[in-house]
Amino acid sequence: MKTAIITGAGSGIGLATAKMLHAEGLAIVGVGRDTAKLAALEQELGGTERLLTISVDVTADDAPQAIVQGALERFGRIDHLVNNAGVGSPKPLHETDDATLDGFIDIMLRAPFRLCRDVVVHMAPGSSIVNVTSTFAMIGGRRGGAYSAAKGGLKSLSEHMACEYGPQGIRTNNVAPGVTMTDMVRHRFEDEGFKRANVETTPYPRLAEPEDVASVIAFLCLPGSEMINGQSIVVDGGWTKTKYLSPRAMTSVWTSAE
């Protein structure tokens, strides 16, 4: 029985991915900090026959060892790794202190790097790693700061791994979500400026839901994606690839930013 490790599995994209891969018959190692959310994951998947939950801070020094050891002891193999855990609400470079910088780098670059390092040695041909990056790893964006730096580093790490471990039959890819309606993001739509900057510039009639991103991650863990390696698949309704402005934005009265 193939096994997938998913970080940040208690909510949002991670939860949706766990449900999809579980439905495909995989065993799931769901990693997260919130024990209540992990308990809810167990309920969502109907028990723990093909599920192991591990409550750990992925930035902890012993986290990779605990995750890998748990997966191997319970299921005897690791076939897929989805590095999804992350944080949001970044600030511009000039407003970012060292503690914030370290926090973003720790959870979204250092932690995935260390977990990849400990997992890849246990993978066999046909295995895959999916790192969840961001549109901010693909293009410049305002307020990116430490978030952009971490996600950009993760994108480059994936490309290195695709080259290094691809000959062993181990694929590594990125999935880069745009603004996705997770609990971490939903509250930001109270800010009319944030809402307009995303809704009015997306050439699709809605923004992404967690399931939209999870379906791409799940695909990259299934046999039909065997020739996809070293790629970044962007899930954003065309936001990064177009200069779209909605009719509302095109006909609005422009005012000074002052």
Q: Annotated active-site positions, please?
A: 147
CA distances to 27, 58, 114, 115, 176 from 102, rounded to whole Å, are 33, 14, 15, 18, 22
DSSP tag of 35: H
Query: Quick one: CA torsion of 107, 64, 55, 16, rounded to 10 degrees?
Result: 70
Separation of alpha carbons 48 and 50, rounded Å: 5
134 Cβ contact list (under 8 Å, min separation 6): 147, 148, 151, 176, 177
- Find how far residue 101's CA is from the centre of its chain: 19
Beta bridge partners of 109: none
Give Dmax over CA atoms of the chain in angstroms.
Answer: 62
Separation of alpha carbons 240 and 234, rounded Å: 8
